[in-house]
Structure 1
Amino acid sequence: MHMADALVAPAVATTMYICSAAAATYSVKKVRLESEPKKIPVMGIMGAFVFATQMINFTIPGTGSSGHLCGGMLLSALLGPSAGFLTMIGVLLIQCLLFADGGLLALGCNIWNMAFYGCFIGALLIWKPIMKKGFSKTKIALASILGCVITLQLGAFSVTLETMASGITSLPFGTFVATMQPIHLAIGFVEGLITAAVLIFVYEARPELLYGNAEKGTEKKQGRFSFKNTLVILGVLAVLIGGCLSLVASSHPDGLEWSIEKITGSTEVESSGGIYDTVGEIQENTALLPDYAFKNSDSTFGTTFSGIVGSLIVVGVCVGACYAFKFFRKKKES
């Protein structure tokens, strides 16, 4: 659901940058107050995991469309809303600059649509209330599916509002909503199932890693793996998904592109001139692996290379940011 620059007017883009920056500032302040240094490697590994899984588009049967994980619900269920949101920003930033996935002008919109709802609405209004009286596999599955469906519906609706506010006349609001919401309902359900599978694995491996579980002090379940081994497994999965499974991703347009094509006959909306040319040129210069491939090459190795290298870069960015902003410092004992 990465929006392209052509879908947003500069004024709308600026507004969404401000909103996303405000949420990021709040998140930085909250995370700097936490004393959980073990979250640093989790941010890196899970950021890489979300990056890799976003490369895997799964087909929505009978539609000619595809979808992929947004990842906000998954990250917030492990890291909490603030750390999860900052990790998602790292993923979206790398996708935008290095792979030209999502527009640079539209980055503020994409952060809000794909990260804010999943991390804050998903964690605080869905995950936390469901887990209030304890954790179980059934609750994890319910929260995952419900969270992904609701937050993706919110994200899809925000896209339609942003295009309407931008005056994109080729996408009438009523028609766009009626097309976007049903397809993202299906995508959200599939994302919920995948999210549930990952979180149930973590629950079996290291239950205290789940958001809110360690704080309760009521969970006596013993994990099957050590903290280190759990992260190694997730890290290896990220590399395998990004480097191998990405080769068999669906070639169908994603939910947003499919919706645009249903209305306009094309998966893209055209724009040119002014700021669009400027940000397009900037992105062209920063995107060393556009569309997750080598420039001017059809080699499938480019996709494998992009998946592996992109995952490693996300790890570096997330972990590096933690140290640069002095996140999760241990409190000095009095």
Structure 2
Amino acid sequence: MHMADALVSPAVGGIMLAASAGAIAYSAYKCKDDLDEKKIPLMGVMGAVIFAGQMINFTIPGTGSSGHIGGGILLAALLGPFPAFLTLTAVLLIQALFFADGGLLALGANIWNMGFYACLLVYPFVFKAIVKRGLTPSRITVAAIVSVVLALSLGAFSVVLETLASGITELPFMTFVGLMIPIHLAIGLVEGIVTGGILVFVYKMRPELLESSVENTKLPKNISIKKVMGTLLIFAVVVGGGLSLFASANPDGLEWAMENVAGTAELEADGDIYSSAGSIQESTAFLPDYGFKSTDGDGSAAGTSVSGIVGAGITLILAGGTGYLIYAIKRKKEKAS
């Protein structure tokens, strides 16, 4: 559901960038008090997992469309809402800058649509409400499915509102929303099942991880999460470097809806801002569309595998580094006082 720059006007792109920047700043502020230092390495590992997971598009039977995980609910359940939002922001930033996945002008909209609803709205008010009587595999699964479907639907509806506010006449509101919501309900169902499965797996390995996020408490000092992190890191490498080769070639939910409404998934936009954003992205994206740069634009298996592993590695460093930076600033202020 990564929006391209052509789907947002400069005004809407600027507003959404400001809104997302505010959410990022607030999340960083909250992390100064709420961030569990034992989960900082997990921020990096989970960032790598989500980056790799988003490379796999799964087919939605009978539609000609595909979808990929958003990852917000999964991140929030393991890290807490605010570290999760910062981690997903890192994923989307790296995708836009280094892989040309999602536009730079649309980056604020993508962060809001994929991160805000899942991490800062649905997880604290829906996921927690479902599991408040106690974490069990069945409750975790139900909470994951309901939360992911709701978060993805809110994000899909926001895409439609943003195109409407941007004056994208090729995508009439009623027709566009009539396709976006149903296809993302189907995508959300699949992602919800996957999310529930991963969370149940982690819960059986180390239940304290999910419990600490739900209760907003820190992990006990005698609890080690190295085994969980090692398992998740191996998962990220296998998915990004291997399973990504088998991703569906069908257009994702947003592209599918656009093709059915406007007849194309690649709308054109003219203007200096669009040109500048495109030029910046072209210069920074060293693996555009998750493949090696080439004159003919054809991808390769090697390019996809390298993209998955390199992208996961960069995300691990950025997401984990963000957590360490926040923690270091907090410790410095504590010592100064």
TM range (shorter): over 0.9
Percent of residue pairs bearing the same amino acid type? 55
- Contact kept in structure 1, 2:31 and 2:326, CA below 8 Å: no
Aligned amino acid, residue 210 of structure 1: L
Q: TM-score, normalised by structure 2?
A: 0.93
Structure 1 vs Structure 2 CA RMSD: 2.1
**Secondary structure at 2:66's aligned position in 1?**
strand
Q: Deviations over 1:31-90 (max 9, x none)?
A: 011252111111000110000000000000000000000001110111111110000000
Deviations 1:147-190 (A, max 9, x none): 00000000000000000000000000010000100000000000
Stretches of 4+ aligned residues off by more than 3 angstroms: 211-217, 327-332
CA contact (8 A) 1:3 1:109 kept: yes
Residue in structure 2 matched with residue 313 of structure 1 by the alignment: 314
Q: Do the aligned partners of 2:37 and 2:327 also contact (CA within 8 Å) in 1?
A: no
1:156-167 mapped onto 2 (5 Å cutoff) = 156-167=156-167
Q: Is the 8 A contact 2:97 2:104 kept in 1?
A: yes
Asked if structure 1 preserves the Cα contact closer than 8 Å seen for 2:80 and 2:213, the reply is: no
Paired residue type of 2:205: A
Could you say what secondary structure the match of 1:133 adopts? coil
What is the CA-CA distance between 1:329 and the residue it aligns to? 5.5
Give the TM-score normalised by the residue count of structure 1.
0.94
Q: Which residue of 1 aligns with 2:80?
A: 80
C-alpha distance after superposition, 1:128-162 (max 9, x if no partner)? 11121211001100110000000000000000000
SS of residue paired to 1:103:
coil
Higher helix share: 2
Residue 241 of structure 2 is matched in structure 1 by 243
Contact 1:37 1:328 in 2 (8 A): no
Q: Distance in 1 between matches of 2:85 and 2:320?
A: 14
Shift of 1:11: 0.4
Runs of 5+ consecutive residues of structure 1 not aligned to the other structure: none
Distance 1:231 1:322 in 2: 16
Q: For 1:113 and 1:316, locate their aligned partners in 2 and report how far apart those are by CA, in whole Å.
A: 24
Whether the 8 Å CA contact 1:20–1:112 is kept in 2: the answer is yes
Question: Would you say 1:291 and 2:292 are equivalent positions?
Answer: no
| Aligned residue type for 1:317 | L
Which residue pairs with 2:255 in the alignment? 257
What is aligned with 1:324? 325
Partner Cα distance (1:12, 1:247) in 2? 35
Q: 1:278 aligns to what? A: 276
Contact 2:76/2:213 (8 A) holds in 1: no
Contact map agreement 2:8 2:106 (CA 8 A) in 1: yes
| Deviation readout 1:260-280 (Å, 9 max, x if unpaired) | 000111111111221101100
**Per-residue deviation, 1:317:** 0.4
Superposed counterparts of 1:1-334, under 5 Å = 1-34=1-34, 36-210=36-210, 212=212, 215=215, 227-296=225-294, 298-326=299-327
Distance of 1:215 and 1:316 partners within structure 2: 27
Distance in 2, Cα, partners of 1:35 & 1:156: 30
> Do the aligned residues in 1 keep the contact of 2:35 with 2:83 (CA within 8 Å)?
no
- Tell whether the 8 Å contact from 1:31 to 1:327 is kept in structure 2 after alignment: no
Question: What amino acid sits opposite 1:205 in the alignment?
Answer: M
Give 1:274's aligned amino acid.
Answer: D
3-state DSSP of counterpart to 1:326: helix
In 2, Cα distance between the equivalents of 1:122 and 1:36? 21
C-alpha contact 2:128 2:214 (8 A) present in aligned 1: no
Distance 2:161 2:121 in 1: 18
> Contact 2:73/2:119 (CA < 8 Å) preserved in 1?
yes
SS of corresponding position for 1:63:
coil
Q: Secondary structure at the match of 1:66?
A: strand
